[in-house]
């Protein structure tokens, strides 16, 4: 009887110790993005990690997965919905497929400069769009930034829409962007980002468009000779969370995620601004021919039908609200 008593005591002791351990075990948060570990997204991921781990006092640990190792942006968003991915930093490229309200932000030449774009994303309208994510099995944590997109290609210098005629240009998996490039006379080919470098290398496509940040972080000069600073569309980024993880948390815990995402967005914007100042020189040093002074009026005119197609499908209200806020 004595032995049995000791055994029971020992077992319950182990169980208690085990439970105590479990209560303190950190929850690992998987964070994914498509860019390299030198990118502005990675700077944002570092800030997210540092902030969440500090605020939660180690209750959460963040593991960053770079370069699309968790999939392309569309796949990672699906991962959030089913709970295989916890946090994603993504452009709005494929987001409209999930949350059509976000398409308005992808209209070409919608914003004239960074201040305008940031001001809209930081406004009530921006918050409203973040909340919309909740209606589509996603948690919108913060608007971050990718940057103004420019055209690169392997064939020729591009100064007018006519120069882009027939060019096979990879676009994101975004209906608004595809339409804009079709209107410009190019041949848009939607493709996930992780496939892009090889597609450029093998000549499956002639060109692509991305912000200076991405062109720098991906060494696109190795496969693209020409860059035209068209700035044809502002590319927002967003920090998204999985409802599978976040819906199970307390308000305090969710608050830590929001703060971490805000710190991430802030750090990313600073890095975007730095690369806007220093990136072009760096690309030229690496052998790219950069067309800096571009008359954007003919490009604006060429893509105008994309606005009509957008408003006939989604109405004018959202667009007008963005334009009023900007």
| Span from 86-94, 106-114, 248-256, 291-299 in contact with ligand EAX (CB under 6 A) | 86-94
Among 30, 51, 178, 210, binds ligand EAX (CB under 6 A): 210
Q: How far is the CB of 21 from ligand EAX (least distance, A)?
A: 39
User: In the 8-state DSSP scheme, what is residue 37?
Assistant: T
Among 146, 153, 183, 228, binds ligand EAX (CB under 6 A): 146
| Span from 6-14, 85-93, 107-115, 273-281 in contact with ligand EAX (CB under 6 A) | 85-93
DSSP 97-161: GT-GGGGGGGSTT--SSHHHHHHHHTSHHHHHHHHHGGGGT-EEEEEEEEEEEEEEESS----SG
| Nearest alpha carbon to residue 238 among 260, 218, 261 | 261
> Under the criterion CB under 6 A, does residue 279 sit at the interface with ligand EAX?
no
> Under the criterion CB under 6 A, does residue 193 sit at the interface with ligand EAX?
yes
> Under the criterion CB under 6 A, does residue 221 sit at the interface with ligand EAX?
no
Among 85, 129, 169, 172, binds ligand EAX (CB under 6 A): 172
Q: How far is the CB of 39 from ligand EAX (least distance, A)?
A: 8
Instruction: List CB contacts of 235: < 8 A, sequence separation 6 or more.
Output: 91, 92, 93, 106, 145, 146, 147, 148, 149, 210, 211
Positions 232 through 261 that interact with ligand EAX (CB under 6 A): 235
Positions 15 through 74 that interact with ligand EAX (CB under 6 A): 34-35, 73
Do the strands 60-65 and 27-32 form a parallel or antiparallel pair, or are they unpaired? parallel
Q: How far is CA 251 from the centre of its chain?
A: 26
Tokens matching residue 4: 């049995």
Residues 319, 167: Cα–Cα separation, whole Å: 29
Q: How far is the CB of 82 from ligand EAX (least distance, A)?
A: 21
The residues that touch ligand EAX, with contacts defined as CB under 6 A, are: 34-35, 73, 90-91, 93, 146, 172, 193, 210, 214, 235
């Amino acid at each position: 009887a004595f032995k049995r008593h000791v055994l029971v005591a020992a077992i319950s002791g182990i169980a208690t110790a085990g439970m105590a351990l479990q209560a303190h075990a950190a929850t690992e948060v998987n964070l994914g993005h498509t860019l390299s570990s030198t990118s502005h997204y990675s700077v944002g991921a570092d800030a997210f990690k540092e902030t969440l781990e500090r605020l939660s006092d180690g209750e959460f640990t963040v593991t960053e997965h770079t370069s699309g190792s968790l999939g392309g942006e569309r796949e990672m968003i699906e991962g959030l919905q089913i709970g295989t991915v916890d946090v994603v930093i993504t452009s709005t490229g494929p987001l409209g497929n999930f949350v059509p309200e976000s398409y308005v932000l992808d209209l070409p030449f919608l914003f004239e400069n960074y201040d305008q774009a940031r001001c809209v994303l930081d406004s009530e309208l921006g918050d409203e769009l973040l909340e919309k994510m909740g209606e589509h099995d996603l948690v919108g944590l913060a608007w971050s930034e990718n940057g103004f997109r420019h055209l690169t290609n392997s064939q020729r210098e591009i100064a007018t829409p006519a120069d882009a005629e027939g060019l096979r240009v990879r676009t994101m998996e975004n209906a608004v962007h595809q339409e804009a490039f079709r209107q410009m006379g190019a041949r848009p080919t939607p493709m996930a980002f992780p496939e892009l470098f090889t597609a450029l290398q093998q000549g499956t496509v002639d060109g692509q468009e991305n912000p200076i940040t991405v062109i720098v972080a991906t060494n696109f000069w190795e496969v693209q000779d020409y860059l035209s600073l068209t700035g044809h569309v502002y590319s927002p980024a967003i920090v998204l969370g999985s409802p599978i993880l976040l819906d199970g948390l307390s308000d305090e815990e969710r608050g830590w995620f929001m703060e971490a995402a805000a710190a991430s967005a802030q750090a990313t914007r600073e890095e975007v601004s730095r690369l806007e100042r220093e990136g072009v020189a760096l690309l030229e040093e690496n052998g790219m021919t950069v067309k800096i002074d571009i008359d954007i009026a003919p490009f604006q005119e060429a893509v105008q039908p994309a606005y009509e197609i957008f408003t006939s499908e989604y109405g004018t209200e959202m667009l007008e609200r963005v334009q009023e806020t900007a």
